[in-house]
Amino acid sequence: MTTPSSRKALSVLVASTFAFTICFAVWMMFAVLGIPIKNQLGLSETEFGLLAAMPVLSGSLVRVPLGIWTDRHGGRIVFFATMLAAVVPIWLMSYATQYWQFLVLALFVGLVGGTFSVGTPYVARWFKRDRQGFAMGVFGAGNSGAAVTKFVAPALIAAAGGAWTVVPQVYAVGLLVTACLFWVFTATDPAHLQAASSAGFRAQLQLLRDPRVWRYSQYYSVVFGGYVGLALWMVHYYVDEYGFSMGTAAFLAACFSLPGGVLRALGGWISDRFGAYRTTWWVMWVAWVAFFVLSYPKTDFTIQTASGPLSFHLALSPTVFTILLFVVGIAMAIGKASVFKFISNDYDGNIGAVSGIVGLAGGLGGFILPILFGALLDFTGINSSCFMLMYGTVCVSLVWMHYSFRGEGQRRDSSGSARLAADAA
């Protein structure tokens, strides 16, 4: 039997997830929109990477203050105001003609990316601890907005006869409508505000001294930053590597973006059931194997045999490549939820502040990676160099997880032995 309180919690979860999905679609618009702009302005790969990543930068930098404001003032008003603040810059994007104008407007468009650190604590506080992982996972499934953009933006451009300016106009109107619907179907619980206001601003910033926050930030920079970076880059990758049209490339790239967002709810359930550490550990290993295979570039080589030269050609077909990318998307979806299960376990009173810090790290990863992808491609000319970089980041996470949790286990064993000795005495 559902109670009024549970119905209200469900309404908050559904409305917040829908709003975050639209916000994420707007945040990722340059994954598609950047390609015609790149062709129109004659941008280099690095310049394209910077343009695609610019909204991610601002959306990441505002996550800490937005998370703290959420703890203090409540998620409903902060979420609503953030969406409204981005409507006008999105609309103005259709009138930009120069590269610097796109960069400046993209910074303001990126504000919607900060809604993650607002919605996460806002949603979590409506549920009991043993359901928070699942609730945050459902909300985080709004990452599937990256796939929404890959379906909607090419269709809008095609319907407008190739005019990309229709995309920001439609997105601006859509975001305004979404903000209004969010306000109607959500609520504020004063108890959440009282619980959040017990921690001062300075005390919240002291969390930066906690090594666990930095560790979780590094994990999240891989599973979320890597997801954002690849979501922004994969349409371009399919066009450049396999010669597909933008529509086909966007559709195939959605095979990564869609499971990487939707299955985050599954990751929350798995984390609740099996624990954050075990879930994150297996996520990193799956990603490590997949990125190793994806990193291998197209290769032609010849060996000398007894009967003469023998030539080989090694390359991933579009089908195999897409399947591997699909697997990576699933792993990252589960990993994004498991990292935030760590946070809900360790920082119940400061979920907003910590999620803001960790979200900032993940967002900065999503900002830096497309730029590095472009720079590596300009420098090496190897399309798969982006996966080589991702392989390295996963290696760092695996090593850090191994030594940090082994150390914590040794400390727990030592403290347990000391307590047994004291009891025996």
The pLDDT confidence band at residue 65, using thresholds 50, 70 and 90, is confident
Average pLDDT of the residues in 242-250:
88
Q: Is the pLDDT of residue 417 over 50?
A: no
CATH code of 350's domain: 1.20.1250.20
pLDDT in tens, 16-28: 999 999 999 998 8
Token pair 């343009």 is at which residue?
51
List C-alpha distances in Å: 357 to 61, 116, 146, 279.
Answer: 9, 11, 22, 21
The bridge status of strand 308-314 relative to strand 299-305 is antiparallel
The pLDDT confidence band at residue 100, using thresholds 50, 70 and 90, is very high
| pTM (two decimals) | 0.75
Beta bridge partners of 299: 314
39's tokens? 């062709």
pLDDT score, position 394: 92
203's tokens? 């005390």
Q: Is the pLDDT of residue 401 over 90?
A: no
Q: Is the pLDDT of residue 412 over 60?
A: no
Q: Is the pLDDT of residue 246 over 60?
A: yes
Q: Is the pLDDT of residue 61 over 50?
A: yes
Identify the domain containing residue 277 by its residue range.
4-424
Identify the CA nearest to 126 among candidates 70, 72, 172, 189. Answer: 189
Identify the CA nearest to 176 among candidates 287, 90, 259, 273. Answer: 90
pLDDT in tens, 353-376: 677 778 778 888 888 998 999 999
Share of the chain above pLDDT 70, in %: 88
pLDDT score, position 259: 85
The pLDDT confidence band at residue 125, using thresholds 50, 70 and 90, is confident
pLDDT score, position 416: 36
CB within 8 A of 421, min separation 6: which ones? none
Q: Is the pLDDT of residue 40 over 80?
A: yes
pLDDT score, position 88: 95
Q: Is the pLDDT of residue 297 over 70?
A: yes
Task: For the chain, give the mean pLDDT.
Answer: 84
> Domain tally for the chain?
1
Average pLDDT of the residues in 141-146:
82
Q: Is the pLDDT of residue 102 over 90?
A: yes
Q: Is the pLDDT of residue 56 over 80?
A: yes
Q: Is the pLDDT of residue 1 over 50?
A: no
Greatest C-alpha distance within the chain: 84
Average pLDDT of the residues in 332-348:
82
